[in-house]
Structure 1
Amino acid sequence: MERGIVVEEIDKGKGEQSARPTVGLFVTCLVDLFRPTVGFAAIKLLEESGCDITVPNTQTCCGQPAYNAGHRNETAAIARQVVAAFEAFDYVVAPSGSCAAMIRHHYPALLADDPKWAARAEKLAEKTHELTSFLTDVRSVSTTAAALPARTSATYHDSCSGLRELGVKAQPRALLAKIDNLELKEMNDPEVCCGFGGTFCAKYPAISEVIVSAKTKDIAGTEADLLLAGDMGCLMNMAGRLRREGHRTEVRHVAEILAGMTDTPPIAGSGEDRS
């Protein structure tokens, strides 16, 4: 990742010698290309939890777009590259439920028949986590140093892969509950898909638009100041629709709020017109 995140190489033996666990940050394509702040927020949170962080400069995509499109051989090639880039770390963490789920659940099946890579994929899967799940379930983080200067309300969208494949739901809410001046307002259906679905929104745009429109109606019904989630694809999809419909809700990745890094404009807007 060369655009947004400073990289460094890891000593292959560091994980065994250091008292602090080593974490390889899987930045994700959308964070790298559209929202580097999320990557820096993740690094801050992971360092504050007592970890040493490295961003391998050989990482690329997790392969999910190709996988969803049915290109299994091409995805397996990507998976081998990711395994090689990250297997030296104690943990792999991604600020994305969908990318983490791809590595954790689909890599072992993709490489199951490859005698050279099957066991390596299994080992990588076992130590791969979504960011908020890693902070709470692995590092036992119960609060962050974040605080908001004024009373603010937020609603949270549960991304499909994070929720259904990784069980991420209570973890981000537990961390958000400890932030001063932040009130969580739940949607009627926070677990319902936003319509992004990776390649789904490109292949079936009319259906995707109906789904995201129902989602933005639910979001607007909370009258929350902020919309938060843990996946950039979902956030960009919902933010774009909210703006086109004229809503003033600010949209941010949950890591930005937890790390107190809110100086940059929200996704798809400046937020200056928020009432």
Structure 2
Amino acid sequence: MRVALLVTCINDAMYPDTGKAVVTLLRRLGVEVDFPTAQTCCAQPMVNTGYLDEAVPVVRTFVDAFAGYDAIVTPSGSCAGSARHQHSIVARRSGDPGLVAAVAETGPRTYELSEFLVDVLGVTDVGAYFPHRVTYHPTCHSLRMLGVGDRPRQLLEKVRGLTLVDLPQAEECCGFGGTFAVKNADTSVAMGSDKARHVRETGAEMVVAGDNSCLMHIGGLLSRERSGVRTVHLAEILAATEDTESRSDGPAVGARAGDRA
């Protein structure tokens, strides 16, 4: 199986450890993964903001970069959702039958990380060790657009040493929403504050999610509140082992988005 990593813009720019964790994890499971260097943005910001024509060359770059792979794996529900659902809209609008055909190939082969692990590889126990108390936030695109359901929880429940606590009002949006946070800042902060409050109520050391964009938003609020609660991407927990934990003063891995916001 030829597998490619779609690392996403935010991970490339701000959270490279998440992309590295995906590679570490997949290799541990016997999957060789490529990193197509021609990849850029998935085009989601343009599509969400209504710039569909401007998204056409971005989608074209995407399908060229990932052509020929059996699976495209990404640590982001929002970017996977863009490839699976938005790319076909952009391609049809372009009027280019070649682009429509190319998107029909790459779209269905794009998987959010937990989908790939559970549905394609058929594993829930990935050999991870992470002795911390965490709570899980299901991000909007993974929950509503992709329908990942309980796949991330299945994976977290098999992590040795990890204590998973339920998040109140878990399915409520964190308020980030990409450009929504910029255009509707007051509403975004209010929604994020509710999410941060629910995270604090769990008594968890960390909040985990499948999208660093959401963790950046939640983590920023938790940091400003001096809550002491940190953020960590799902991939980084799943990549952790006894060995990485023993060589670290704290959690072996972790996006720590709140510390960087």
Fold match (TM-score > 0.5)? yes
For structure 2, the residue ranges without an aligned partner over 5 or more in a row are 245-250
1:264–1:136 CA distance, 2 compared to 1 (3 A): closer
Match of 2:188 in 1: 208
Match of 2:229 in 1: 249
SS of equivalent to 1:192: coil
1:49–1:141 CA contact under 8 A, matched in 2: no
- Picking from 165, 171, 175, the partner of 1:185 is 165
Match of 1:124 in 2: 106
Within 5 A, what are the aligned runs for 1:118-267? 118-148=100-130, 150=131, 152-260=132-240, 262-263=251-252, 266-267=256-257
Deviation of 1:269 (Å) = 2.5
2:210–2:233 CA contact under 8 A, matched in 1: yes
Match of 1:73 in 2: 53
Partners of 2:3 and 2:77 lie apart in 1 by 17
1:229–1:101 CA distance, 2 compared to 1 (3 A): same
**What's the CA shift string for 1:99-145, capped at 9, x where partnerless?**
00000111112112321111110111111100111001111012122
- Picking from 89, 93, 98, the partner of 1:109 is 89
1:49–1:135 CA contact under 8 A, matched in 2: no
Aligned amino acid, residue 143 of structure 1: D
- Give runs of ≥4 in structure 1 deviating > 3 Å: 261-265
The 10-residue stretch of structure 1 (205-214 or 105-114) with the greater mean CA deviation from structure 2: 105-114
SS of equivalent to 2:97: coil
**What's the CA shift string for 1:1-21, capped at 9, x where partnerless?**
xxxxxxxxxxxxxxxxxxxx1
SS of equivalent to 1:93: strand
Aligned amino acid, residue 51 of structure 2: H
Structure 1 length as normaliser, TM-score? 0.87
Q: What percent of counterpart residues are identical?
A: 38
Deviation of 1:236 (Å) = 0.3
Partners of 2:126 and 2:37 lie apart in 1 by 28
Match of 1:9 in 2: none
Structure 2 length as normaliser, TM-score? 0.91
1:227–1:250 CA contact under 8 A, matched in 2: yes
For structure 1, the residue ranges without an aligned partner over 5 or more in a row are 1-20, 271-275
- Name the Cα RMSD after superposition: 1.4
